[in-house]
Structure 1
Amino acid sequence: MKIALDPTPFHHTHGLLEFPRVVADLGYKYMQLTPHADFIPFYNHPKADDELVGQLKKASKDAGIEIASVLPVLRWSGPDEDAREAAVRYWKRAIQITVDLGVGQINTEFSGRPERAEESERAFYRSLEELLPIIEREGLHVAIDPHPDDFVEQGLAALRVIRGVNSPNIGMVYVASHTFHMQDDPSAIMQAAGDRLRVVHVSDTMNHHASHGLRYITNPPGNAARVHQHLKLGDGDVNWDEFFGGLSENGFLGRDDSVMVSSVFAEDDTAREVSRYQLNTIKEYVSSVQ
């Protein structure tokens, strides 16, 4: 298993080519690349040209770290057809960038709309009809997160959609911060996913269902807002013994191709200390269940 750092907390203080050195200085051997204005921004065409991709690859090598995964977020399940078609074009470039970086793992979101779930699911499969041959030809694996406010948010329901693609190159991301939106038992999701579970994100969150749904109050009452956090491990309500125990039973912790990502976004002021804490605490939990 590869333990990687998501450098999002450093996006506002460091340039893209500085991330590998930051990751290495914090003790990590792997990095996950998330949406960035100079790389693959949210929902828009990738902005990295071949020269920048080459520079990033060299910077990673010079820092002694590897890029474990690339995370584009594009509207490939969008019910708007023009947006979906554009997303497929952007995906093709994102795939090429990933290949040129020498990375074999992509993780992403469904990026559809919950209020138009049926149309979004149709759009998802339509996009895969065009993209899957490229993904399989390049030998990539794409893992998908059922993100809050997507057309599929429950863990087991997401697995059914993924299974419907009928390809070993498409799998699942389990984001611990989305635990209370996925609704299903975490161990049941991990068991059902099997080796389709290729990426997990480690960050804590509060259980928004607590106090009979009144822990968080949004107005007007009954609106469709989704609430979650990306806190450091131990600051929320995720059952970490269950989480790491489930990963151990799944076999995730012992696979060479699995990626565990520290993805804390709520602690920018102490990002360095929190990143080191995350790495040490993750290692302690992994040791305790092996």
Structure 2
Amino acid sequence: MRQGLTIGEFATLTHLSVRTLRRYHEAGLLEPATVDPFTGYRYYSPEQIPSAQVIHRLRELDVPLADVKSILASGDPQRRADLIAEHLRRLEAELDRTRAAVVSLRRLLRPDPEDLQVELRSVPARTVAAIRGHVTLEDSTSWYDATMAELDAAFGPSERTGPPGGRYANELFTAGAGTMTVYRPVREPRVSGPIEIVELPPVDVAVAVHSGRHDDIDVTYGRLGSWVVEHALAVDGPVDETYVVGPRDTPTPADWRTEIGWPVFRLTPGDCALVQRPAT
């Protein structure tokens, strides 16, 4: 009497190789319905096909074997869905990192000679509402989001007089941790909780605009830094970012505009001229 589907037949039906099915058996992930005690031949039942197909799909998504086993072992549909959703979030995060790296490499390999414009600008002293903190570079994005939300809650649109900004100590980049100051120009700055009134001193800066997502903003930083080395005298001061158009203004990343202000010492007086430099 036939005991079920042979391992070869089951492999054909499920698109899982014989070698893979043997490995899954050894791992306790997908055990045959029966194993002939004399020949050691593995036999599978038709009812095991759906489980095998689920395993096949999960492995195509690079779900680790241990997680696949947990998903199959769980009798709670919501628990299974949560496990799969958690892995999908990890995949999406990895895909975002890969996409960002590809964009950066393309900009480095095929720079547009017309896309870097630098403006020497004298920024007057300003009084702003701000929140400061010692932050690691890894946590800087999430810290900024939370801090900016707090400033937005404290100062409504009618109170704001300009786009928000961030001032970043050099140590944030050189040592991986440093002081971050996130601020908003407002009509009447006031103290509230972590919000303080901060006096930003006047400064001369070389300004370049970064367009789009911040995934490759380091490329713009690098090119602006190169421009400063060649055309101005850099000073040891914090870098400013001004979020002229950002996620709070539009959900379309292509429309985002971030001004990067690199502190410099103006060697010659005169108007703030717009200087264009071919990309390197």
TM-score by length of 2: 0.24
Which of 1 and 2 has greater Rg? 2
Give 1 or 2: higher strand fraction: 2
Give 1 or 2: higher helix fraction: 1
